[in-house]
Amino acid sequence: MSLEIKVPPVGESISEVTLSRWIKKDGDHVEMDEVIAELESDKATFELTAEKAGTLKTIAQEGDTLEIGAVVCTVEEGGSSSASAAPQADGMSASAAPSSSAETKTVEVKVPPVGESITEVTLSKWLKPEGSVVAMDEQIAELESDKATFELTAEVAGVLKYVASEGDTLEIGSVVCSIESGASAAAPAKEAPAASEAKPSVQSDRSYAAGTPSPSAAKILAEKGVNASSISGTGVGGRITKDDAVKAEVKKAEPAKSESAKTAPVQAAAPGARNERREKMSGLRKTIAKRLVTVKNETAMLTTFNEVDMKPIMDIRAKYKDKFKETHGVGLGFMSFFTKAVCEAMKSFPAVNARIENEEIVYSDFVDVSIAVSAPKGLVVPVIRNAEQLSLAGIESAVVALAGKARDNKLTIEEMTGGTFTITNGGVFGSMMSTPIINAPQSAILGMHNIVERPVAIAGQVVIRPMMYIALSYDHRIIDGRESVGFLVKVKQLLEDPTRLLLGV
């Protein structure tokens, strides 16, 4: 009986993926939940696992673009165990036999397809030195696109020879390096200790995945500065899983090394020195840059401003913040009030929550609010789903959870995609006024700023009030001036009279 293995859903906005690499080969015996292939979207890399044990029959080819739900392969039960047992039985005689061919074969390792919209990558780092002996499927280099970091693995065992250098920008299909297999690859085997020759079956049974991190695990380990060789994997075949990487801790430096570091002389910069340093842009930073430029070039973006008297909200917070935290377990911040005000104002101005797709305007009857968060590697915008249905406590809880994940680089793709409107708070950094850039494909973004006490006229008298400038950047192709100004005025009215948020008026 055969079981079809299909492309699983991998994200709300992802409709297709690329089969970047088969980890198991056609005809191999696979165990249940064993990683058999890697799939890549335009945002991340995913692992495809076997849903049952059996013999693998590949259907899709490496480099194929597959829709969600498309059949990738089948797994047939039975017939594989006896076939796999035969080589084990003859393992000693096979290993003892001399190689039938001593000729050297050179294999070119090229940049694999890493996503439909990706045409070039950067060779960010060599993981193995030139001239070293590499095993089949061993990681030899890291490639970086504008969306993610990918690992380049050796297609055969042999001696590594560089073709490209670190920092080179390579097109898909370009040669990165070559590997000489055959006589050169056999040399290190002769130098292996006799103990390993006595137990070849144990070595052959060991999965290549042992000690190898998954793409998501590798990213977490790199951010933590943890060497993959220092931890053991709990995944199939000893593979290092994302959970292993999250639990991994950086080993403390040895005391001797610390002492030497303390005694090392520190060379101070010469007075008046005009030094410069260059840092390569990360893939995330390059993606942010491209997206922002695209928005500026492809939208008719305008910004309208207003100001809000924050005293009513500050009075509520001062009166109820302790009771609120005691009851709900989270603090009462400004973001929940702004989110509720935005959701209420969109009932009167639905175009602010809409977007343009091709030649159609898509109106959403729900509000998924993207909250701009400054993470260690750049700006991210996790999404609060169905914000219009949440209470103030629900919104605050969602904000705390998403902001924490952003700081720890633990946000998933699903948590960062699909927003319909964005709120950004530059006031936490002291910004008094700004023109935020729309988060495509959305049509508007609300900018909050710092609260400053200023003299204002109220009922014919000058009084000191805590005031905040708010800004709405919007796409004029879909939102008219009347709607943008009316929306911002509605938000102002709701914030200055929070009772209206409770009454829905």
Helix-then-strand count for the chain, H and E:
14, 27
The amino acid at 365: D
| H helix or E strand, kind and range, residue 88 | helix 81-89
Strand partners, 305: 471
Rounded CA separation 338/496 (Å): 11
Closest CA to 476 of 444, 502, 450, 451: 444
Tokens of 249: 């801790």
Q: Cis ω on the peptide bond leading into residue 441 (within 30° of 0)?
A: yes
Tokens of 119: 């045409």
Closest CA to 78 of 49, 58, 53: 53
Tokens of 17: 């993926």
| H helix or E strand, kind and range, residue 150 | strand 149-153
The two beta strands, 444-448 and 461-475, are antiparallel
158 three-state secondary structure: strand
Asked if 494 contacts 501 with a C-beta cutoff of 8 angstroms, the reply is yes
Tokens of 383: 């999404």
Rounded CA separation 498/505 (Å): 10
Give how far the C-alpha of residue 427 lies from the chain's centroid of Cα atoms, to the nearest Å: 26
Tokens of 263: 């005694």
CA angle 417, 226, 283 (to 5 degrees): 35
Residue with tokens 């302790």: 322
Tokens of 212: 């190898």
Residue with tokens 């290190």: 188
Identify the DSSP state of 442.
B
Give how far the C-alpha of residue 394 lies from the chain's centroid of Cα atoms, to the nearest Å: 25
What are the two backbone dihedrals, phi and then psi, of residue 237, each rounded to the nearest 5 degrees?
A: 70, 20
Catalytic residues: 476, 480
Rounded CA separation 399/376 (Å): 17
CA angle 438, 441, 447 (to 5 degrees): 25
Asked if 466 contacts 289 with a C-beta cutoff of 8 angstroms, the reply is no
Closest CA to 344 of 390, 299, 375: 390
Work out whether the CA dihedral 405, 409, 415, 420 comes out positive or negative. positive
